[in-house]
Amino acid sequence: KLPRKVKLVEVGPRDGLQNEKQFVSTAVKVELINRLSAAGFPNVEAASFVSPKWVPQMADGSDVMQAIHRRRGTIYSALTPNMKGLEAALAARVDEVVIFGAASEAFSRKNINCSIAESMERFRPVARAAKDAGLRVRGALSCAFGCPYQGDVPVASVVSVAQMFDELGCDEIDIADTIGVGTAAQVGTVFDAVTRVIDGSRLSGHFHDTYGQALANILAALETGITIFHASVAGLGGCPYAKGATGNVATEDVLYLLDGLGIETGVDLAAVVAAGDFISTALDRPNGSRAGKALLAK
């Protein structure tokens, strides 16, 4: 019943680092991405071309993209909220751009300073220009399981925003638990509803782990037929506009789960554990991956 293969998208260099208060040097970002590429990820979210006033940590995206070693077989993605971001992403030769909206009006305003409807009008030319340039386009859908400002988010809003992304031509749509509040039952409900209108092969699960539910939620999503998941090495991260939310589920923990289920990812767990140790040391903070810590202690 479970899939034989899963596409694991490593978002640590973007979602993981964007919330760091201290500026992380370009060299450290580049080494992290190079290590993750070498571990075999099919997709690494490497940069964000957003306003440096809003997210100063991501201001060096062009330099990062310029300096990384690009592994054949890895897609390098970057966030592009508007045409200015897209132009920077094109100049930096990213492979895939991510337009990012929300199922919650309140979060949309806090994160990208406009309503959901306005965001879609802003994304339309971005998606079209990206497609014209031959890039893949992903749509990230925040607050699919709850919002830090409005609380509950109706499943119908998630379905409706997913359809808007579909209509803009997104290749993939990321169903995101921005604040990590979702439970396995909710995951079943949300993915069942969205897969009624969009093929499950184009949907991903992007789970933050605030309430410790992310691994259970991944298993629940696998059972609904989802085969793309996002994770952050060493469990780094949090969204600057979702106060109190922790990082994405740790990649090492997800790999340990998938390896145990015999699900193929093409990613080398030992190399990810080493990358997690590298970045935790560089940031001078405890490693947020349970599996990573256990394997490092062996």
Q: Which residues bind ligand HMG (CB under 6 A)?
A: 15, 18, 48-55, 79, 81-82, 84-85, 88, 100, 111-113, 140, 142, 176, 178, 206, 208, 239-241
Instruction: From the list ligand HMG, Mg ion, none, pick the one residue 84 interacts with, judged by a Cβ distance below 5 to 8 Å according to partner type.
Output: ligand HMG
Q: Which tokens belong to 4?
A: 């034989």
Instruction: From the list Mg ion, ligand HMG, none, pick the one residue 48 interacts with, judged by a Cβ distance below 5 to 8 Å according to partner type.
Output: ligand HMG
Sign, CA dihedral 114-116-117-119, equals positive
Minimal distance in Å, beta carbon 231 to Mg ion?
11
Taking a C-beta distance cutoff of 8 angstroms, is the pair 267, 254 a contact?
Answer: no
Nearer to ligand HMG, 81 or 235 (CB): 81
Q: Determine if 15 is a binding residue for Mg ion (CB under 5 A).
A: yes
Nearer to ligand HMG, 228 or 269 (CB): 228
Nearer to ligand HMG, 16 or 269 (CB): 16
Contacts of 84 (CB under 8 A, 6+ apart): 49
Nearer to ligand HMG, 3 or 240 (CB): 240
3-state SS, residue 225: coil
Taking a C-beta distance cutoff of 8 angstroms, is the pair 136, 169 a contact?
Answer: no
Cα 230 to Cα 226, 258, 293, distances in angstroms: 12, 13, 20
Beta pairing partners, 174: 140, 204
Structure-token match 């405890």, residue found = 286
Q: Determine if 252 is a binding residue for Mg ion (CB under 5 A).
A: no
Minimal distance in Å, beta carbon 104 to ligand HMG?
10
Choose the binding region for Mg ion from 14-22, 53-61, 97-105, 151-159 (rule: CB under 5 A).
14-22
Whether 114 is a known active-site residue: answer: no
Cα 198 to Cα 15, 167, 195, 214, 262, distances in angstroms: 25, 11, 5, 23, 27
| Active-site entry in 143, 147, 170, 239 | 239
Q: Which residues are catalytic?
A: 239
**Chain residues that interact with Mg ion, rule: CB under 5 A:** 15
